Amino acid sequence: MLPAYTVCVLTMISALTWGAVTLTHLDHPALEHLRLHLAADHVLVGLGIALTGMVFAARRTARVLGALMLCSGCLLTLAQVVPLIAVVWGAGPGVLTAVFVLVMVAFTLINSIIYPMPLWLPTGRFPRGWGPPYVTFTALFSALQQYHAFTHTGFVYYGVPSPLAHSAWSDLEFMLTPWMDTAARWVPPVIAGAGILIMLIRWPRAPKSERPYAILAVPYVLWLVVIGLNEYGDPPMGFEVVLVYLAAASWPATVGYVHVRDRTWALDRAGRRILTAFVLTFAFFMAYAGGAFVLDYFAPGSLSPEAGLMACLTLLVGALLRPTARWSARLVDRYYYGERAQPYQAVRALADRLGQALDPGEMPRLLCDTVVRTLRLPAARLVVHTRHGDRELVRLGTPGGLDEAFPLVHRGNAIGHLYVPPRAGELALDQQDREAVRILAGHSAPAVASLQLYEELQSSREQIVLAREEERRRLRHDLHDGLGPALSGLRLQVDAARTGLPPGGRATASLATVSEGIGRAIDELRHITGGLAPAALDGADLPRALRQLAEHLGRTLRITVSLAPEPFPGLPAAVEVALYRIAAEALNNVVRHARAGHAHAAVVLTPEAVTVEVRDDGTGVPEGACGDGGVGLRSMAERAEELGGTFALVSSGAGTVVRAVLPRTAGT
């Protein structure tokens, strides 16, 4: 379709160029005695036929007919603009000769296409039997007729005598003159009558469902009437112009009727845009040419170059008024409200950002960021529903007390809600904001639904971790406060009984053995209770436990601890245990393997997460240890991941950095 689009664009440019040159050179001597309405009529007919051909070119059943009509319409338009430009700019004899040959070919082609038009009707398929001889004879006669006209002495086109009349081109003209004058009056009616007769013979044979092009008989008959009036009569100028306008407009109008009725549209987006521009060009040209004719008819002399230029400027301002107003409104709306006037642009931007995101889990944050930054609303937070209750995935901005909930519906179920407050100074979201957020929530629901499964799994893991830590704490308390004192008391009783017996006896030895066994059991119990939960956290907060750990391990190197903010708030038990054990394991590794002089443990709390980082100035982790991962590294990573966090280790010759990031609300 690219060649067809190129011909369409060339036709439109030619028509617009003809109008611009004509309006700006109305006082040129070549245009003083020219019947401009006839030249404008030829341009209109060329536009109409080319427009019809473009639509036909998109249909498989009439692609050949469409290509022929498109080319003939384009050449007919060029046959007006090229001579006009050549005359206005004073072209030489050689250029004028080439221009007149082009015009002669254009008129020959248009006659060769239009006269046999009935052969394509009503099905749009060309007959194979007697169709080619008919077309061959028509084309040959049209070529001879145009040759005779352009080489005849006295032929004037755009105020310039034909340069073909007194050259080698005119040798054949002397042979054609005796009989061509008579043939030009009688052969065209015979050709047209034969074409109509052929159409009437084929019409009854065609099924009703295969007659989409029958309506093309209307512009064809109008065209014959115009040709007949010009050849055999002298109609009034006004009637002639109206008739030509009807003939020119009937070509695209009939084709439009066929396509609307059959609901056929085989053009791509580029084709539809070109066709839209073509229709607008045709309509504007018809309106302005008709207006110029009416103005010149009722007010002779009023059509001046200045008036034409003002008319073109008015057309340009009118064409740009609506898009300019729309652009201004969009600019103001975007400045104050972001992209809420075009919510689908925001959805597209969100989709593009999701496509570039490395982690699918970034979707909730990108959604809220789109609401806050693109729509410029004050805040947004996303909550999903899990079997363990609602879970807030992300929060941006400062939500107020008037948050409006927008459900995220997937497969008929509300998987969560997007909460958005109104703008500052408003009691509720206006309709445009509400519609934009609703569209964003609807398009984001499938992506959030996939994250919901992960969140449910993560919530279950956190519940398990929380239950495990609480059970360990309970067991430790029970063993430490119950079984431990009971064993200690039993050992005291055994030792008291042993002191009442004479030394050296068998009973004394047996009681000593029992006392030692109870002592070993107490030691083992202490070891078990120490593993169930960090003893440092038993009755102490996390800052104090970390500082005690630093004092205990800081015998061979200097260990410092910092927490932000100060004072440090309390955290869920599972989070505190994980932070303490990760810091303890990292500091133990520094003491045993790093050969460092200083280590620093830092805990930083943010609204969304808590980070523990242990940094040292040692020799770093040996090559290969980071990839293989020892028991300690795997333990730290597992403790972070089971609460939905991340773990990272960066080592170099200047030291090692161990960092774990945990969600602040994990385990709640």
Q: Which pair of tokens denotes residue 372?
A: 């806050």
pTM value? Answer: 0.49
**Per-residue pLDDT reduced to its tens digit, 569-623:** 888 777 888 888 899 888 888 888 888 889 999 999 988 889 999 999 888 776 5
Compute the 3-state secondary structure of the chain and give helix, strand, coil in percent, each to the nearest 5.
65, 10, 20
Closest CA to 644 of 543, 551, 575: 575
Higher pLDDT, 308 or 216: 216
Higher pLDDT, 400 or 518: 518
Which residue type does 63 have?
A: R
User: What pLDDT does residue 661 have?
Assistant: 92
CA distance 250 to 114: 14
Residue 405 Cα to chain centre, angstroms: 27
Q: Which pair of tokens denotes residue 428?
A: 């509720």
User: What pLDDT does residue 602 have?
Assistant: 93
**Per-residue pLDDT reduced to its tens digit, 111-152:** 888 888 777 776 666 777 667 888 888 888 888 888 878 887
Q: Which pair of tokens denotes residue 115?
A: 């006269």
**Per-residue pLDDT reduced to its tens digit, 153-188:** 677 888 788 887 766 666 666 666 667 767 777 787
Taking the CB of residue 593, how many other CB atoms lie within 10 A of it?
18
The answer on pLDDT for 315 being more than 80 is no
CA distance 88 to 84: 6
Q: Which pair of tokens denotes residue 580?
A: 């303490």
Higher pLDDT, 524 or 94: 94
The dihedral over CA atoms of 40, 46, 47, 53, expressed in degrees to the nearest 10, equals 170
Closest CA to 289 of 603, 35, 463, 486: 35
Among 20-29, 89-98, 200-209, 245-254, which range has the highest average pLDDT? 89-98
The answer on pLDDT for 627 being more than 70 is no
Taking the CB of residue 12, how many other CB atoms lie within 10 A of it?
22
Which residue type does 17 have?
A: T
Q: Which pair of tokens denotes residue 263?
A: 């609901």
Q: Is 604 helix (H, G, I), strand (E, B) or coil?
A: strand
Asked if residue 214 lies in contact with residue 254, where contact means CB atoms within 8 angstroms, the answer is no
User: What pLDDT does residue 373 have?
Assistant: 79
Higher pLDDT, 305 or 496: 496
Strands (E), 356-464: 379-386, 389-397, 404-410, 413-420
Report how far apart, in Å, the C-alpha atoms of 158 and of each of 33, 39, 239 are. Answer: 9, 9, 23
User: What pLDDT does residue 271 have?
Assistant: 66
The answer on pLDDT for 628 being more than 50 is no
Q: Quote the mean pLDDT of the chain.
A: 75
User: What pLDDT does residue 455 have?
Assistant: 62
Among 60-74, 296-310, 586-600, which range has the highest average pLDDT? 586-600
Q: Sign of torsion, CA 248 252 254 257?
A: negative
Residue 422 Cα to chain centre, angstroms: 28
Angle among Cα 312, 314, 317 to the nearest 5 degrees reads 110
CA distance 399 to 421: 6
**Per-residue pLDDT reduced to its tens digit, 527-551:** 666 555 555 565 557 888 888 888 8
Whole-angstrom distance between the N-terminal and C-terminal Cα of the chain?
A: 64
Burial string for 646-667 (b: 16+ CB within 10 Å, else e) reads: ebebebeeebbebbbbbbbbbb
The answer on pLDDT for 344 being more than 60 is no
Q: How confident is the model at residue 458 (pLDDT cuts 50, 70, 90)?
A: low
Environment class of residue 55 by beta-carbon count within 10 Å: exposed (0-12), middle (13-18) or buried (19+)?
A: buried
CA distance 119 to 630: 88
CA distance 278 to 14: 12
Residue 242 Cα to chain centre, angstroms: 47
User: What pLDDT does residue 4 have?
Assistant: 78
Residue 273 Cα to chain centre, angstroms: 18
Which residue type does 403 have?
A: D
Task: For residue 564, report the phi and psi dihedrals to the nearest 5 degrees.
Answer: -135, 130
Asked if residue 13 lies in contact with residue 43, where contact means CB atoms within 8 angstroms, the answer is no
Closest CA to 454 of 608, 637, 644, 607: 644
CA distance 292 to 84: 18
**Which class is domain 539-663?**
alpha beta
